[in-house]
Amino acid sequence: MLLETFYAKRLMNMSLANKTVSVTLKQGQVTGQQTGAVTRFLGLRYAAAPVGALRFAPPQPVGAAPPFDATRPAPVCPQLPSRLRTVMGDFDAVQDEDCLRLSIWTPGCDQRKRPVVVWLHGGAWQSGGGSLPWYDGTRLAQRGDCVVVGVNYRLAALGWLFVPGQTANVGLLDEEAAVRWVIENIQQFGGDPDNVTLMGQSAGGFNIAAMLARAPLFKRAILQSASLGRGFRETEQAAHLSRVFLQATGAQTLEQARVLPVAALLAAQQAESVMAALKEEGANRSLFCPVVDQEMFVSPIAPLMQQAVKRADVLLGYTRDEMAAFPGTQRNLASQQLGEKIFGLPSRQWAEDARTAGRDAWIFEFAYGPNPEFGACHCIDLPFVFGNLEHFTGAAMLEGMVPDHGRRLVDEIQTAWIEFIHGRSPGWASSPVVRVFE
């Protein structure tokens, strides 16, 4: 019934003419576009362009700026093609280092103080973008009467290179800067700065867990397929991989790497020496990821993560066949056991520890997989959370989907997520109960 009501409102609002809407912030005036019942603002800067001397540096505040046209999509961070593109489809987006942008979808720039959900995309810290059509927040904002924010952050070496003595994990600092920007400005977009939920998938989910180990500005989180079982890369290994990487670029110092063409940084990710060093690690993890740098995160990391579970109410879960999406992995018992080790068991443990600490915690498992080759693989929940099935046309993971099944799952998933975003139960008993979507 909720989904039927949503589509009825959508049809009713189609008659509304598109119009521009301007909002004045401390940094200046920004103009978005209203389409039906939702107004979107695209490409808003939450930090200065991280170029030149700011490449590899922590994000810097954005200053006053001329009036900004926020009706066009933001560039995503420069990146290589995703290794999951054969499963979930590919995207075509402008890439630029001036990527510290966010997009906002709101039912109204008024004084309603709606709950806010900030989306952090996945992509193994190497690919993706919060401004992609996959994550268009229109439907979630309209149906949930909430403000949706999608964040772009720095990827691969630009965001996660580790050079001892230099600030590490700047991609995570990007995300924290985006959250601060939201809290400072979201009231101008009809949102409540005191009611913010962070939502992330895969690398984005892990990053939320990392934020909770620091000084988070939020108390509610949705973690979808967060790779909690892999954890942080330790200091020595991260420094070794970064040394090999910089050698592959031809740079002797970080200063020299700052002036290289970004194409040289991307090419170095695929250098034979870099691939060999990554293989020698034997951890089957991404080339770049959060690092125990001994400043933001210190060894041992376990006590920090034990504190993290106490700091937020959580809705978290995993897909039944997580690993089937990854190249070279078949959908079988062995891959399911590996997915359980990396995603399933750590998610359930986080929920149980959070509940023990007095937080609310709910667990889900996404088990719908229409294509028997991939099953309910990593990322298959994303089209249903945002309700953007049409933007995943051609995704192999959805081949064979019965349209009625898809619509039902959008209804069930969005109903649960929206309830949580509004500070209520998603509709089932808390941990250790697992709600299965199938």
The residues carrying an active-site annotation are 202, 322, 378
Structure tokens at 12: 């009713």
Query: How far apart are the C-alpha atoms of 21 and 105, rounded to whole Å?
Result: 12
| Among candidate residues 80, 290, 48, the one with its CA nearest the CA of residue 172 | 290
Three-class SS state of 80: coil
| H/E stretch holding 217 | none
The C-alpha atoms of residue 418 and residue 239 are separated, in whole angstroms, by 41
Question: What are the φ and ψ backbone dihedral angles of 155, each rounded to 5 degrees?
Answer: -120, 165
Beta strands in 166-312, from DSSP E residues, in sequence order: 191-201, 220-224
Distance from C-alpha of 378 to C-alpha of 374, rounded to nearest angstrom: 9
Q: Where are the alpha helices (DSSP H) in 38-196?
A: 85-88, 138-144, 156-160, 170-185
Report yes or no: 335 and 324 within 8 Å, Cβ to Cβ.
yes
Helical residues (DSSP H) of 282-381, grouped into ranges: 302-308, 333-339, 345-356
- The angle, 0 to 180 degrees and rounded to 10, between the axes of the packed helices 235-249 and 272-281 is 170
CA distance 251 to 245: 9
Pair type for strands 147-151 and 101-106: antiparallel
Supply 9's token pair: 């409102």
